[in-house]
Structure 1
Amino acid sequence: MQTTTQAAVHTTGAQPLAEASQPGRLVSLDVFRGITVMAMILVNNPGSWDHIYAPLEHAHWHGCTPTDLIFPFFLFIVGVSLVYALDGARQQPSTHGRTMLRILKRAAILYALGLFSALFPTFDFSTVRIPGVLARIALVFLVCGIVFLKTTWRQQLGLLATILVLYNMLLQLVPVPGYGPANLEASTNLGAWLDRTILGEAHLWKQSRTWDPEGILGTLPAVGTGLLGMLTARWLRQREVEPATKVAWLFVAGGACVVLGLIWNGWFPINKSLWTSSYVLYAGGLAVAVLAAFYWLCDVQGYRSWIKAPLVYGVNAITVFFLSSLVPRLLNMIKVAGPNGPTGLRTWLYDTFFVPYFSPVNASLAGAIVCVLIWLGILWVMYKKQIIIKV
């Protein structure tokens, strides 16, 4: 990971941004990324996993809650960011080899961070989870980066359609070895069988061991989510199109994706764990609409007085996501005396300062909100000092 300081950083709020009609850095993209990561920290760090408000939980299987939108929003943002980062290199074919090496290096670092997080603190390689959130981000970044360099937007649109149709066919037509007909059940679908066969049960999601929500086959449609972000960014970078026209067509496209996703849901249900094709379109369409709204507010109309908190999250998104997964475990490695014997520091803090003063579900929510605010304070200091850690 690389830390950049004020002299080397092209930062978001401290320097003038490009006009909305020009292909400069989008402040709206950093805001969207920041809000997404804040939501990710909120849902990943409840005071107690036994007491959570329904919108802050994932759907049990089929269906979609607000929490189920967070990860696809982030992958959509990855696709948008790739276009802004690599468009110059794409126009210089002689540099594609070096650019691909940079893409591969970054993907490897992202995967390594995810693997380290899965290993910490026991470092037991015999049971480490091989898939994961950062692993999926790394693979989507790798595939989408190469696709962007080597294809046109029409080819990318065709690839997206092919991926969605092919994935639907794989999960609903291909028999599952050892189980019989194709199905969409958690432990017996084709993706779950593939994960167990290639990775082994010991290296899958610890809550199930028979399937993994970030498994191998599900990464294919997740690439489709990144492609949607790339196509959105290509449209936003059109110099000859007026901002109002860009926003209008983005809302049309986003609405069309949502409607198509809801229609497809009738025979290939919206499901985050399977990352179904209907889910790609539904969540991706909402992401298009959200980015369009932020683009209009922040980049076109210039309403930026409210954006500081998401902005400081957005410019160090991977950093805070990675560290926030480690800190709770670090805190619970510190043992303090409790009424029922030694307990981890994080648990002790929660039981002491939240549980006695709130209902169980509100205590859990308050603990999550405080976690978000603590990280906001840390990131605010980093932002003020122009410290941006890049992978």
Structure 2
Amino acid sequence: MTANQLSAAAGSSQRFFSLDVFRGATVAFMILVNNQAGKAFAPLQHASWHGCTPTDLVFPFFLFAVGNAIAFVLPRLEAMDRSAAVWKIVKRGLLIFLIGLLLNWFPFVKWENNELVGKPFETLRIFGVLQRIALAYLFGALIIYFFKARMAFYIAALLLLGYWVITAMAGNPADPYSLEGFWGTELDRVILGEAHMYKGEGVAFDPEGIASTIPSIAQVILGFLIGDYIRQKGKNAEMVANLFMAGVVLWLAGMAWGLSFPINKKIWTSSYVLYTVGLATMLLATLVQLIEFRGWKGVVPNFFDAFGKNPLFIYVLSGVLPKTLWLIRIPNGLNEAGEIKYTHPLGWYFQNICKPITSRPETASLLYSVSLVFLLWAIAWYMNKRRWYVRV
């Protein structure tokens, strides 16, 4: 083997605890921001449209981590028979998509007029967070597998530039980057139908729709390129310095692009991809420096590491657990008509434990979401202790 090959082999065999911590922290914050009860602090809310809050960083950071992980499993895929490797990628993508679809439908029944009735498929939302992860992983991994790192970079650039051009030209000329003017909404209406779309904006608009999946594939590819660089270089100061500088460059490029193509999570703009990849890369470089070189392995990194060992399972559980508890009804006084009102265990906990602690609704909401994070951490910690790892 050549010196470069020996160096690459050594780098690929090294374990990066910092990557597990990064992935776990992302999952923990996804749970935190997705489980606010009532009014939340501004940083724990999504930007109303253009712009980026800390909450808007969580999802793209997870896709970035998905790309990182591909870099470390790619050598095993390349060692397999091509058809087996492709089927492994496709099967994983399809399973994650199916899990996301079932999670949208779960628990398949709901309370209506004091009776449990089935939740109809006719109004089931087709897309969602897990579905975007599935599609971005599926297409990103296939591009990486067939075209390798250099060509994958060019494809990612083409996806981002092409998405910008299409969004500018195919949308409403008055404002193609607005809620009403975004071209992807009409595409979703035609293919999915309004009944199967998200309506959290007051209209049928899906922030994880078909069109905005295009740049999210580039997010995974860029995450892979960063992970591949780490794997190839191994643990050395030059790698960390270059990683941080790459993050700065990507962040500044995203800021600059945002002047003409606004940074926006809900339509996942190309500037948003560069902006968030840049921040994720800087954060990852910082964690590598602190954990791999300065030996920071205390309570905080170990806390997040537990989430990082079973990230998808814990994320799914964070949706399944509340939805299951919502089916349990607890009498909660009478309404104006003298009829019994009901709450559920989590609603009771929020009303009787979190709210009495503070007069500020944002703080009560935070206490509630932090409680869920610690509950799920306990499950993640126990699973890690018993070496129970759920793989899809």
Q: TM-score, normalised by structure 1?
A: 0.89
Displacement after TM superposition at 1:175 (Å): 4.7
Name the counterpart of 1:117.
103
4+ runs of 1 displaced by more than 4 Å?
A: 19-22
Name the counterpart of 2:385.
384
Aligned in 2, Cα 1:20/1:338: closer, same or farther, shift over 3 Å? farther
Q: Structure 1 vs Structure 2: percent identity of aligned residues?
A: 37
Name the counterpart of 2:144.
148
Name the counterpart of 1:348.
348
Aligned in 2, Cα 1:100/1:67: closer, same or farther, shift over 3 Å? same
Deviation larger for 303-312 or 226-235: 303-312
1:187 to 169, 177, 180: 180
CA deviations on 1:293-337 (whole Å, 9 max, x unpaired) are 112222333322232110111111111110111211211211111
Deviation larger for 363-372 or 94-103: 94-103
Name the counterpart of 2:128.
132
Amino acid at match of 2:357: Y
Please tell me whether the aligned partners of residues 34 and 317 of structure 1 are also in contact (alpha carbons under 8 angstroms): yes
1:96 to 76, 82, 98: 82
Name the counterpart of 1:16.
none
Unaligned runs of 5+ residues in structure 1 are: 1-18
Name the counterpart of 1:314.
308
Amino acid at match of 2:131: A
Give distance in 1, aligned partners of 2:95 and 2:235: 38
Give distance in 2, aligned partners of 1:217 and 1:339: 46
Instruction: Tell whether 2:30 aligns with 1:40.
Output: yes
Q: TM-score, normalised by structure 2?
A: 0.89
Instruction: Tell whether 2:380 aligns with 1:372.
Output: no
Displacement after TM superposition at 1:360 (Å): 1.2
Please tell me whether the aligned partners of residues 25 and 84 of structure 1 are also in contact (alpha carbons under 8 angstroms): no
Deviation larger for 21-30 or 146-155: 21-30
Q: Which has the higher helix share?
A: 2
Give distance in 2, aligned partners of 1:20 and 1:152: 20
Name the counterpart of 1:224.
218
1:339 to 296, 317, 333: 333
Instruction: Tell whether 2:43 aligns with 1:61.
Output: no
Instruction: Tell whether 2:234 aligns with 1:234.
Output: no
Please tell me whether the aligned partners of residues 235 and 292 of structure 2 are also in contact (alpha carbons under 8 angstroms): no
Give distance in 2, aligned partners of 1:242 and 1:305: 20
Displacement after TM superposition at 1:133 (Å): 0.4
Displacement after TM superposition at 1:181 (Å): 5.8
Give distance in 2, aligned partners of 1:283 and 1:296: 20
Displacement after TM superposition at 1:30 (Å): 0.8
Please tell me whether the aligned partners of residues 30 and 314 of structure 1 are also in contact (alpha carbons under 8 angstroms): yes
Displacement after TM superposition at 1:352 (Å): 0.9
Displacement after TM superposition at 1:188 (Å): 3.0
Unaligned runs of 5+ residues in structure 2 are: 1-8, 110-118, 335-340
Please tell me whether the aligned partners of residues 21 and 243 of structure 1 are also in contact (alpha carbons under 8 angstroms): no
Please tell me whether the aligned partners of residues 208 and 266 of structure 2 are also in contact (alpha carbons under 8 angstroms): yes
RMSD: 1.7
Give distance in 1, aligned partners of 2:293 and 2:171: 51
The SS at the match of 1:337 is strand
Name the counterpart of 1:5.
none
Displacement after TM superposition at 1:157 (Å): 1.4
Name the counterpart of 1:29.
19
